[in-house]
Structures are given as C-alpha cells and as structure tokens.
Chain A
Amino acid sequence: MAFNHRNLIDITEYSADDLMLMLRTAERFRSVNERRVKKLPTLRGYTVVNMFNEPSTRTRSSFEIAEKRLSCDTLNFGGSSTSTVKGESLTDTVRTLCSYKIDLIVVRDKHAGVPRKVADVSGVHVIDAGDGKHQHPTQALLDLYTIWQKFGHIEGLNVGIVGDINHSRVCGSLIPALRTLGAHVTIVAPATLRPARPEVLGVEHATARLDEALPDLDVVYMLRIQRERLEGAPYPSLREYNMLYGLTEEREKLMRPDAIVCHPGPINRGVELDSFMADHPERSAILDQVYAGVLVRMAAMYLLLGGSDDGLTA
C-alpha cells in the first residue's frame, strides 16, 4: 500500500484508499492522546510553519497541539504582524521562510488557491487549513473520522448538509470526500444559499425543505450561518432562518433513532442549532469532531512527512 502525496490541498486528489489510510492512522494516535505523556518523538527535528493569514481559533490550536504531540518545532507566522503588511509579496514571504530550511507549511488564507501557490513556490509539503470559499481538507477528514467512528463505515450513509452551501469551504472538501467513500449527499438550503447547479458538487439531492429531508438522514451536518456575510439578505432574518432551517427540539423527532448531528463550529446557538441539539448527549457529535481534529492533523503530518512505503525493509 503506497501513499504518494506531498501535499494535502485538494481532497479530490485523494482516493478512497488514501482517505481510509488517513482515518486509520488517526485512529492509531488516539491512545497517545488519552495517556499522561501525550507526546511522540516521531517528527523530532522537523520544522513546521503555521501560516495563518485569516483568523482561526480551533483549526490553528488543533494544528499546534498536533504538531507538539509529534515533537515538531513550530513557527507561528501570519496575520497583521508580518511583512505582507509592508508590501512584501506572498512569493517573497514564502521564499524567505524556506531559507530557514523548513519542512511543512500549514496555510490558512482568505483567498482561494493560496495553498497551491505556496506549494509551487516553496517546494516543501503544504497542508491547506482553509482557503477562501474553496476547500478545508483537514476539516473534511475530521468529519469523516467522526462519522466513521460513530457508524463503523461511511459507504451507503445518507449525509445531509444544511445551511450556507454557497459560502462554505467545508462543503468544498467534505462533499467530494464523502462521495469518494460512497456516501450519499443531500444539501438542504434556501435557494439563495444553494449553488444553481448542485450536481457539479457531486450532490445527489438538493432541497429547500429540511423537514422532508430529515427522516432519511444518518448524519445531519449543520453549517454555520456566517453572520459576517449577511450582505444581499439571503434570508429575511435569523429568526426566520431558525424557523425554517434550524435544528430544533421539535425537529429532533423527525430524525432517525441513530442519526447524529455534526457542526464545524463555532455554533450560533438559536440560529442553525438550538442548544437542545448542540448539547444532545446521544446525537451531538460536535465535541467528538473537535477531538478528531487533533488526531487527523497528526495523521496528515505523519503521512505527508513520512513519505511512502517504498517496499524496502528498513
């Protein structure tokens, strides 16, 4: 079994075998995260740069924890403190960083395509930690991991993604990855937040009616309503959005007995998700997702930096 990826930028480049290898590797890191010494010497001597040019709390902290638990040296870099503010181009910034002999760059940027550009310029390994409205592959991996752990398989599951599909980079990675692994994907959104041609995303069903979709779903994946992108008024008010698309206590009754609720965070309580559902002891997988974030990021760094199995006996 070979793993021949240098980067994790576009999840559509990953086969079903690659994705499952990621998940199985993540599983192996679980026991480490549950013992007293939560650290492995595996990546000792490797240097990882976290280049976050856009605000991020959970993705960034989860990458940092993953790096520290694998014993990498890390450099946090980005935002307003860097020389991009002084007019330096991305290319020059990346070349400068590479002169420090680094091994991997984790890139978060508000512009789609930046991670690819960084990979081309730097020649080192790159992980996309979210670029614009394009992709967020490690988020998709942690979602897949959570679903896999809950159901024991992914193939054949009905996954419904509810909310702002148009602005979602989570969808950009999660939908193709779910399709690669054989899950069925339904998107549920008002027409104003739904792509005109959902089939391009690989989606099998698209609907505006949550109540009709809910009884068929194994996984109800609620997207965050991005209040900062309210311009153009895609829906009349948050209250109305909650009435039509919010996962409420009332709607819980429509769900399958073993269906789970996922959310990439941060949650707008009372908008897309009522507290009853967000904190539901059986259905809510939200904190499992956060936990899985560390595991899959450890797996991604381990597999990318470790290279492939060349069949040699070491």
Chain B
Amino acid sequence: MADTARIKSVVMNADEIERALTRMAHQILEKNKGAQGIALVGIVTRGDTLACRLAKKIKEIEGVDVPLGQLDISFYRDDFAIHLSPEVLSTKIPFSIDDVNIVLVDDVLFTGRTIRAALDALMDIGRPRTVQLAVLVDRGHRELPIRADYVGKNVPSASNENVRVFLQEVDGRSEVEIIALEQGKRAGSAPLGGE
C-alpha cells in the first residue's frame, strides 16, 4: 500500500492526538460517573495502544487503574480475508467482562464492520453491562448502524482516500494522515494493520 499511496494531508499531529485523548478520557469519566466499573478494551493493532494511553490519562485524572485488555477480531471478520501478520496478535483480557461497562477503543471508525466483529468477539467472552465505543478518528462512510460514543476528531473523507493513524509506540511517530489511494482502488474497512 505504502508504495502506491500518497500523503494528502496531516489532519492531527502528536499534540492534537494527546489533547483529543485527554478530552475523551474526561468524557468517559463524566458519562460513567467516575472510573468504577469500567474497563478499556482496545482492538489490535493501535486500538490497544490508544486504550493504553487512555488508561494512563484516567489514572492521572482519577487516580484509578482501570482494567485494560486487547481484542483480536480477525477470527470474527465478515470477509474472512486473512491478513497475515508477522507478529502474534491475540486477545488478552485478563479480567471478567461480565457486568462491566466496556469501552471499546479503535483508531479509525469507517464502515463499522470491525466494530460489528468486535461486539461478537466480546459477547463470546462474557456479558458486559454496556459496551461504549471510543475512536480517535471517525471518517464516515458507515455500512452498518454503528456510532461512536467518544470521538477524537471527525475527519470527512472520500472513498478514494484512506485515513491512517500512526502512533509513537508502534510506528515511531504520532500522526493522523489522509492518504490518496491510487485511482480505481477503493478503501476498505481497517484490517489488522490499521490500513
């Protein structure tokens, strides 16, 4: 993808990402009336990194360590295209999600299909009290009736563009970019690589 793509614009830099996450952490605490009974579950890859950052911010604000997990949804995808990845991705949720308010965290909300898969994956693990959705970027083009509860930034985009999130921990820099796709190529919902 990288060789055929072209960066159109940078829509968020590292500072803007941090500020958006701080606001989202406050919103999560406000809506749930504190940090009790909530847990963050990030969708691999990058959703888990963002969940980790949100957990740190919640700790700074409220002084509470919220349970933190990561969810691999590749076995729940509706297109069953395998995105082979050299690293071992796996679901790690080291706590019971039963009766917990789960905040699902992902980098980009696009078609909604990833979130659909994530909801199915969560329901196989347990029965959360509620599931809320936090995304760094909402780029529109929904194909399913899914919306986010917490949004870092709304980024209107065309279907021949891709929105990519880069994070320091994974990519060595933090940035949200709009990338122009080659003509004829259509952007899809984000697979494992966040592409």
Contacts and interface: CB of A to CB of B under 8 A. Distances in A.
Interface string A28-44: 10111001110111100
A272 to B, nearest CB: 35
Given A37-B124, A37-B125, A40-B75, A303 B82 contact: yes
A46 to B, nearest CB: 9
Nearest to B77: A314
Interface stretch (B10-18, B26-34, B186-194): B186-194
B81 A314 contact: yes
Contacts of A2: 84
Nearest to B79: A314
Contact of A42 (B75, B125, B126): B75
Interface in A1-42: 1-3, 21, 24, 27-28, 30-32, 35-37, 39-42
A169 to B, nearest CB: 29
Contacts of B1: 311, 313
Interface in A258-314: 302-303, 306-314
Given A39-B124, A306-B80, A31 B90 contact: yes
Interface in B148-179: 162
B82 A41 contact: no
Interface residues of B, number: 29
Contacts of A308: 82, 84
A314 B191 contact: yes
Given A28-B89, A28-B90, A42 B84 contact: no
A40 B76 contact: yes
Contacts of B195: 313
A21 B188 contact: no
Q: Is the interface of A mostly helix, strand, loop or mixed?
A: loop
Contacts of B125: 35, 37
B92 interface: yes
Interface string B60-91: 00000000000010111101111111101111
A313 B88 contact: no
Contacts of A39: 124
Q: Count chain A CB atoms within 10 A of each CB in B1, B74, B82, B92 and give the residue with the most.
A: B82
A309 B83 contact: yes
A41 B76 contact: yes
Contacts, number: 68
Contact of A21 (B75, B84, B126): B84
Contacts of B74: 28
B79 A28 contact: no
A251 to B, nearest CB: 36
Nearest to B85: A1
B120 interface: yes
Contacts of A314: 77, 79, 81, 83, 188-189, 191
Contacts of A37: 124-125
Interface in B107-164: 120, 124-126, 162
B88 A306 contact: no
B33 to A, nearest CB: 30
Nearest to B81: A314
B92 A3 contact: no
Given A37-B124, A41-B120, A312 B90 contact: no
Given A1-B86, A42-B80, A31 B91 contact: yes
A216 B54 CA distance: 51
A290 to B, nearest CB: 21
Nearest to B193: A313
Contacts of B77: 314
Q: Count chain A CB atoms within 10 A of each CB in B1, B80, B83 and give the residue with the most.
A: B80
Nearest to B72: A28
Nearest to A46: B80
Contacts of A28: 72, 74-75, 88-90
A31 B92 contact: yes
B88 A24 contact: yes
Contacts of B162: 313
B120 A309 contact: no
Contacts of B81: 306-307, 309-310, 312, 314
8 contacts: A21-B84, A30-B90, A31-B90, A31-B92, A32-B75, A37-B125, A311-B1, A313-B195
Interface of A: 1-3, 21, 24, 27-28, 30-32, 35-37, 39-42, 302-303, 306-314
Given A2-B84, A309-B81, A313-B187, 4 more contacts: A1-B86, A306-B82, A308-B82, A313-B188
- The 8 closest A-B CB pairs, nearest first, are A306-B82, A37-B124, A314-B81, A309-B84, A313-B188, A40-B75, A42-B75, A1-B84
